[in-house]
Structure 1
Amino acid sequence: KKLFPQFITLEPWEFGILFQGRESIEELAWAQEYSSRKKTFKAQNAGYAACSFIPYRMKNKQGISVHAGGAFYDHKPVSLQIYVEYGGVCGAVSKGAAGFVKAKGIPSYTIGQPGHCAFVWKGMDGEWKIGNNIYGWIWSEGGSGGPWKGAVSTITELPRFWKGENASSSNLCYYLSLLAADSRKSEVLLEEALKRNPSNYSAWQALMRKKGRLGEKDKLALLEQFKKAFPGNPTLWEYFVKRELGIDWKKANGYAVYPRLLAENESWDSVDAYMRNFCALARKDIPDMAGKLSYEVKTKRSFFKNWLKFYQQNKVDRKVRVQTCAVLEKALPHLLSREKTALQFLGFYGQVIDLWKDKQLSARADACLTAWLKEVDKPSLRKKMAEIGLKAADHLGDKKALVRYAEAQNGY
């Protein structure tokens, strides 16, 4: 009766995580006794409450920094008792908290986030959660921990799969596919597994290995099916696109592929997944900006503002100007169905066109905007395009274009 109820519900793979911890039996016994005196430490909030057991300290009582390594702990063997006594920063908090929940029979392990250590644990509802979390699943690294190998967030899909319809028969079809001697029969079984329950990630992985020769159009159609099977998990979509889908990136147009990571509602996680891949493409296509153009957790909300600020405060070669406009002109046509993201890109595009007042770039902008206006029907996008077009037409001294954009701005 010293374990939390989660222990009774564990699957074999979850027992594997529980028993693979580095904590000794003596440590876990001590942790059980210590945590029994903590009234706030309960099954439903174990992963959150356990963080409070380890004091957050940058220096020990002698003033030695935590970054000094063993010296911070007076060179004592690190244990749960030592974490409680000495404290530490995010690594100590997450490792210590994970140890305490494991002492109560809850599987847990640490994961990485940018400049931060967090951990995952199993809640009473059967769902896996992040403890000591700052940046969420989309910025987490360190492996999935379970039988499905993929992004860290993959572990959240296992409980959902097993709670879904026909999970057992879907899983059976998957394992039968591994035994089928004939490749076509194996593929049919995998397709049947996904027909019975499309959230069977192992079946998706195995099926994509068999469909490696599909054309890009067919693979992207499968991606849309995959997104429906795993709604609200852009981290997993991104992993699937880059690791499982088998796209030939030497031939594929990343500016056309990566917008598919944007959810219909353009959730922050899906925007993050898209933007960090867009940035990788932009750094490649604007080599002089490779060390200056990054999409990071602490600056992501001011990404375009910082990009513009750099151009305003520094002398920019014309080559970079041309490359920047080319990147935006390649990205924007594939974003026009995602209003919020498209507006951000259009806003920045208009700002650099206005900043540089380059007739050649303004002429290119005029051509692009004219084409895009024919494709888009969202009033906000048409208004923003017309606004940029008016500035470009003014740079060019084109009266006909000025009239055309004025009419578009007024909804004609």
Structure 2
Amino acid sequence: MKIIKAGNDVFSFDYYIIFLLMLSSFLIPDYFMRMIPAFGMSLTFLSLSISLLYIALNYKKVDLLVILGVNIYLIWFLITTFITNRANVVPYLFQEWKTFILCFVVSCIVHEKKVNKVAFIRVIRDVTLIFFILNLMLSIIYRNGIPNGNMVFNGGIDSYYLYGNVNAMVRAIFPGILCSMLLDKMHKQNLSVSTFIFFSGFIFIFLYVYHMMTGLLALVVLVLWCTFKNVILKHFKLIYSLYILIISFVQFGILQLANIGNGWITSVALFLGKSTDFSGRYYVWRRALLLFKQSPEFGWGFINYENLKALILNGYGAHNYILDTAINGGYIGIILFIGIILMPLFMLRIDFVTNQQYLLLGGWVSLLTMLISEPLRGWEFLFVPILCCVLIMNRTNYQKDRLLKISN
């Protein structure tokens, strides 16, 4: 095994290449995958094959209990797809494979040697950073999106960037930001060049291209989470509960708006400089709520892009993850997902939370902010594995401590 020293990082070059091939289909923007479909399919097949092989070779490290726990609501979606629609679940299982696979992978990574863990983190940071810089350059050149020509999606969609629309960029680069900050923590750096590029680049796009308010709020939450670490750890259950209550209160306002067409949430929109219909989201939310009411117990399961667009005016989902969950899984799906949100309150042992776990937990909390108004349905692989990783790391530390006490 070849060990490489790059800056402050010491990592396995062999594992870096393996993880690069394994994670390529997760990290390369959709733009390139769609531009050359054969390339996208080949890369996906390669990524899936290497991931399955890696999991098979490390199956003893898998924490199946946590993996099933954080994915239970997605499993319910597959069940209700068959029950409600009598639909073939295979296409939707293929759609969700990234989330399931990544949870298995991070379960194994937790138990790897440090040089291998660093290789994994660097791959996510490096690939995301490269494409983010490229996307930033294109945003400067093409303020209104990449024009029609060679560099477009199939179908000739303009006013889009490498990650799709500008909001899609935020969700895509978040794992890269977290991994860059993780490496900073490992090296006891306050702010590395890569982390600075991520934050400054985001601010530039926010100021000069498009006001990604939800993304900005998520980053602000992450910065506050890191700044007030001692206070948050001391009062974790109280602060986490209050944050969930705030998110729930905003969600209630959105449901009120979708149901009666008005409410206090419109004042929030005006305060944030948004239109009272939340950039057209109101019409999608209203249609999504009406669709949910037609099958409230079990939901409709997974619905393909064309049908969903016809039903709620947007094929990517309701721009609100709770409404998406309601459509897919009904009341049962909502209850299961709320249970997952509450898992840190009951499963985390705060005394065993390391700096890395704390930062990842901050990433999870920040992404909960984005669930309010961003289309994250189908992108669960960007946030579910983060919670999975935190819980497994914490559980592993606790078990090691118990074994050590028993042996003494």
| Coarse TM-score class (shorter-chain normalised) | under 0.3
Structure 1 length normalisation: TM-score?
0.24
Rg (Cα) greater in structure: 1
**Which of the pair is proportionally richer in helix?**
2
Structure 2 length normalisation: TM-score?
0.24
